[in-house]
Amino acid sequence: MNRRDLLASLGLSSFSLLAFAQQAFSLGGVLPELQQAAPDFTLMGVVPTAQGAQAAQRSLSDFKGQWLVLYFYPRDFTEGCTLEARGFQRDLDRFHRAGAEVVGISADSSESHQEFCGSEALTYPLLSDPGGSVSQAYGSWIAPFSQRHTFLIDPAGILRERWLGVRPSGHSAEVLARLIEFQQSALS
């Protein structure tokens, strides 16, 4: 299918896309606007505990009052996703000292997340979005996978920053640096 046919099947033309110039688009849908409330979510997944990763449900509201790094990734156990997860794990204590929690979301099952947490010694939540509804709300879905996007949400639930087409190597440090910039500017 060529581009013109694809756009027509979506009810769009090249010119109709220009009408939306003020909105940020991603291949996975419309990205949420910065400085606005982050899209709400409630998902099942795994939360690591002293006894190992346990099944649990988490919602955006569970993180109210703290910064949240919400990162979407395609699949457990793949090279890039493993590299990204390890980076967040490596920097997790620094995120916690900065008052932030890290949460990963993919379309993988809770069982896959549990195995992934165990094999990589991950100690932060991984949530399962099998139908992609939350990934779509964040403009991060191309079925059947979540796209590699990261969102920084402040303690009031406001979306402050986003990273699209993330390169896994060094990404955690990049997010941590931006979080600290936001916190320092709030003190000024």
Residue 184 burial (C-beta neighbours within 10 Å; 0-12, 13-18, 19+): exposed
Question: Catalytic amino acids?
Answer: 81
pLDDT the model gives residue 96: 97
11 domain-assigned: no
Q: Could you tell me the residue range of the domain that residue 170 belongs to?
A: 44-187
- CA dist 96 and 171 (Å) reads 17
The answer as to whether 155 is a domain residue is yes
Give the model's confidence band at 3: pLDDT under 50 very low, under 70 low, under 90 confident, else very high.
very low
Distance CA 132, CA 145 (A): 7
Per-residue model confidence as pLDDT tens digits over 62-119: 999 999 999 999 999 999 999 999 999 999 999 999 999 999 999 999 999 999 999 9
Q: What average pLDDT does the chain have?
A: 87
Q: Does the residue 142 lie in any domain?
A: yes
Residue 61 lies in a domain: yes
| pTM score, whole prediction | 0.84
| Total count of domains within the chain | 1
- Cβ proximity of 150 and 175 under 8 Å: yes
Distance CA 110, CA 13 (A): 40
CATH code assigned at 119: 3.40.30.10
Cα–Cα distance measured from residue 147 to residue 32, given in angstroms and rounded to the nearest whole number:
14
Q: Report yes or no on 2 lying in a domain.
A: no
